[in-house]
Amino acid sequence: MSREACPNENDQCKYAPDCYSDNHHIYGRPKSGIAKKFGSLIQNQLQLCRVEHEELHALDGVIPLPDIDTMKRAINGQHGS
């Protein structure tokens, strides 16, 4: 996922007329290892309007990571190994 056109464009947006959407990592952005691989899986990201993304982070909207075995199963399922 990357920057894309905003799905909620409106003239009142602080980014108007150039509002955009970008990636929100549901589990935050872990820095290394299994957690980083898990957090980077497409199912653990959302494409959000930039303003909505900022509002979510202002609420500290990061979900705690699942246990290591759950993360490993998800990674292995994604990559087929």
Contact 72, 34 (CB under 8 A): yes
Tokens of 36: 């980083």
pTM for this predicted structure: 0.74
Tokens of 43: 């199912």
| Phi, psi dihedral angles at 46 (to 5 degrees) | -130, 150
Side chain identity, residue 64:
P
pLDDT, tens only, 3-60: 788 888 888 888 888 889 988 888 888 888 999 999 999 999 989 999 988 888 888 7
Residue 47, strand partner residues: 23
* Peptide bond between residue 7 and the one before it cis (omega within 30 degrees of 0): no
Domain coordinates in residue numbering, the chain:
4-79
Tokens of 46: 């959302």
